[in-house]
A and B are shown apart, each in its own frame.
Chain A
Amino acid sequence: MSEGTLYDKVWDRHRVTTLPTGQDQLFVGLHLVHEVTSPQAFGMLQERDLEVAFPERTHATVDHIVPTGNRDRPYADDAAEQMMAELEENVRAAGIEFSHPDTGDQGIVHVIGPEQGLTQPGMTIVCGDSHTSTHGAFGALAFGIGTSQIRDVLATGCVAMEKQKVRKVEVTGELGPAVTAKDVILTIIRELGTDGGVGYVYEYAGDAIESLGMEGRMSICNMSIEGGARAGYVNPDETTYEWLRETDAFADDPDAFEELKPYWESVRSDEDAEYDDVVTIDGSAIEPMVTWGTTPGQGIGISEPIPEPSSLPEDKQDTARRAQEHMGVEPGETMEGYPIDVAFLGSCTNARLKDLREAAEIIEGRSVAEGVRAMVVPGSQRVQRAAEAEGLDEVFEAAGFDWREPGCSMCLGMNDDQLVGDEASASSSNRNFVGRQGSKDGRTVLMSPIMVAAAAVTGEVTDVRKLTEVSAA
């Protein structure tokens, strides 16, 4: 078993007791709530005549169904309106703070937590969304949970969980030009498998990780779940603290920052911490990545050939064959030149200001290829405003991109932003599952924001390094 890791320390600090099942009851430091997975949980609470135990440790936003176009109320979609109204009533009745669109703070739950300073090192954080792993970038233990567990957290402030093993994923060296955090995590998932993380929490470490900013760390932790790990984290360091200092939580209260810092430092993994497993990946060998299939594990470098299914491990062959048929790709070819119909720049993985800035650098002075529908969906209203203050919206719009309101949008297609028929998308999101972007015949190619930008302007999957000298990391 692991010992002395951040995971062990944060777990111990939050452990209330061991339940008769052998699971630990863990106190939840921050419970994030959104509109899709919570209404049933609030309903269960009412049926049991229970109240929200820790409303001040709970924060709500709306992201999955919220329109990214016209937001006049009632929403045009009756079902979306009903879900929004339900959330409004639930949080009002419980006294839960709500980053409602009217506040100017609304956004994807995994974007607003970090930007408002709700997300802090050494916390336990849960949300009814598998990408809650994002918050691990700050050295928090953050897990996606189901609706019955949301009921647990609302009613008791706790979750029942079993302690997992810790795998240190060390990414060494320096990332090459135009190689981003997204490429790192797609490489990790390819190496370790989509179920490689089952039973583990991932501690991301090594020079290539530590040199990343918070946005990159969030992209990596965000996709831990695509590798089967419910949670992933990076130890807090000066980069983390610099980000936190600027957030609402501490910008006007430097004393609070200094008071908490020793706790954050104390939960860092010890130098001699013991891990259940250690994996090392050479970061300098990673090139821009794209997926060729229908799971995030089916990724390759942009210059690498699509694998022959028979060359893969036996348990991967069937999925690979079906994926290649769905995507219409041939083994032996590269993904370069694969025609796209849609370019989607958004999602909790990659819709932060830095992502938009870097993509805009590629876009500037170019135009979206004919026949391509291109959209930018900022991760939050704050990201949107900050980008507009820099004129990024104008860069995108001048090139032919649609500049939209914040939300999950075409990542999962619960609002009107969906693929149609067998359209292919270049997407900065996290999942290329069949049907994920709203059309069961739709095809999704996952890639970094700058690769999405490159695909948008050429109309096909393109090695961004051929377009320009870029300095992203």
Chain B
Amino acid sequence: MSVDHEEFADGEAPAEKVTDVSGTGVPVRGNDIDTDQIIPARFMKVVTFDGLGQFSFFDQRFDDEDNEKDHPFNDDRYRDANVLVVNANFGCGSSREHAPQALMRWGIDAVVGESFAEIFAGNCLALGIPTVTASAEEIGRLQSHVEEHPDAEIEIDVENEEIRYADRVVDADVNEAQRKALVEGVWDTTALMAANREAVEEVARSLPYVPDEHVPGERGSGDDAGDEA
């Protein structure tokens, strides 16, 4: 299956099962690629995520005169790639969801790497984008393979935690909660958590620092509730 994320744009309720992603790869080499590099702060002066795709890795892709620089995202061979292959600690730094949003709108459906920063991986999950890890050696081999065979099909099997390309089957890791969420199609946490409203209010009431009138279910129902709400 090749994932189509378009329908998830800005708030559509995603509940699709993402068991695997297939397509071609684009390698972006280097450790510690932070979210400021994935999308520079100046492109975040927007009130929607629409149109962010074009700004992916912007300062790595263009010089001061807007001439294209040497970067995989500028390389025609990878123009239609949907599997991003990266190295260690990818997505560190700022919590900006603009980073995975930009990559998704560029056309990225899955990211494979040595390791990911946690907030970045969480933000990807919220968009239904798997972040799959494998050893440094395997990632290096995959990057080289993609560079040599940009048209080669890569299959990211989220359910079975494998990456398959050419004749290779690579043992990969998918965080267990992410795997369940994607494979079972339960990654819309808003819907999941909204279903537990009463339990939430019970916890809120049990906390000494939360005044009763701050708990929605209490408003207007108790003797002294509702006045301040």
A interacts with B: yes
Do residues B11 and A144 form an inter-chain contact, with CB atoms below 8 A? no
B91 to chain A, nearest CB (A): 11
Asked whether any CB of chain B lies closer than 8 Å to the CB of A435, the reply is: yes
Residues of chain B contacted by A47 (CB below 8 angstroms): 10-12
B41 touches A413 (CB 8 A): yes
Taken together as a complex, chains A and B put the C-alpha atoms of A65 and B11 apart, in Å, by 24
Bound form: Cα–Cα A259–B49 in Å = 44
Residues in B whose Cβ lies below 8 Å from that of A130: 93-95, 119
Question: Assuming the A-B contacts A198-B115, A435-B36, are A21 and B186 also in contact, with contact meaning beta carbons closer than 8 angstroms in the complex?
Answer: yes
Residues in B whose Cβ lies below 8 Å from that of A315: 31, 88, 136
Known: A44-B11, A151-B11, A157-B200. A39 touches B95 (CB 8 A): no
The minimal Cβ–Cβ distance linking A66 to chain B, given in whole angstroms, is 12
Are the C-beta atoms of B95 and A37 separated by less than 8 Å? Answer: yes
* A-B pairs with beta carbons under 8 A, tally: 232
Q: From A39, A43, A412, A434, give the contact of B37 (CB < 8 A).
A: A434
Residue ID in chain B nearest A80 by CB atoms? B45
Contact residues in A for B155 (Cβ distance below 8 Å): none
A13 sits at the interface (CB 8 A): yes
Q: How far is the CA of A40 from the CA of B1 in the complex (A)?
A: 29
List residues of B (1-31) whose CB comes within 8 Å of A's CBs.
10-13, 30-31
**Interface flag for A155 (CB, 8 Å):** yes
- A48 adjacent to chain B (CB < 8 Å): yes
Min CB–CB distance A383 → chain B (angstroms): 23
Per-residue B-contact encoding for A9-44, CB less than 8 Å = 1, 0 else:
000011111011111010101000000110110011
Residue contact B89 to A195, C-beta cutoff 8 Å: yes
8 A Cβ contacts from B64-82 to A: none
Complex Cα gap A23–B213 (Å): 29
A79 close to B (CB within 8 Å): yes
Question: How many interface residues does A have (CB within 8 Å)?
Answer: 83
Q: Mark A71-106, 1 if CB is under 8 A from B, else 0.
A: 000000101101100100000000000000000000
Of residues B30, B41, B93, B97, which shows the largest number of chain A Cβ atoms within 10 Å of its Cβ? B41
What chain A residues lie within 8 Å of B216 (beta carbons)?
A: 53-54
Q: How far is the CA of A50 from the CA of B193 in the complex (A)?
A: 13
Task: Write the A139-171 contact mask toward B (1 if CB under 8 angstroms, else 0).
Answer: 000001111110110011111101000000000
**Which residues on B sit within 8 Å (CB–CB) of A259?**
208
**Contact indicator A413/B42 (Cβ below 8 Å):** yes
Closest to A45 in B: B11
Task: Return 5 A-B CB contacts under 8 Å, by A number.
Answer: A21-B181, A22-B180, A148-B127, A195-B92, A228-B118
Q: Besides A57-B214, A148-B123, A199-B118, 7 other CB < 8 A contacts?
A: A47-B11, A47-B12, A56-B211, A86-B47, A130-B94, A145-B119, A431-B36
Closest 8 A/B residue pairs (Cβ): A44-B11, A148-B126, A146-B123, A146-B97, A79-B45, A147-B97, A440-B59, A39-B47
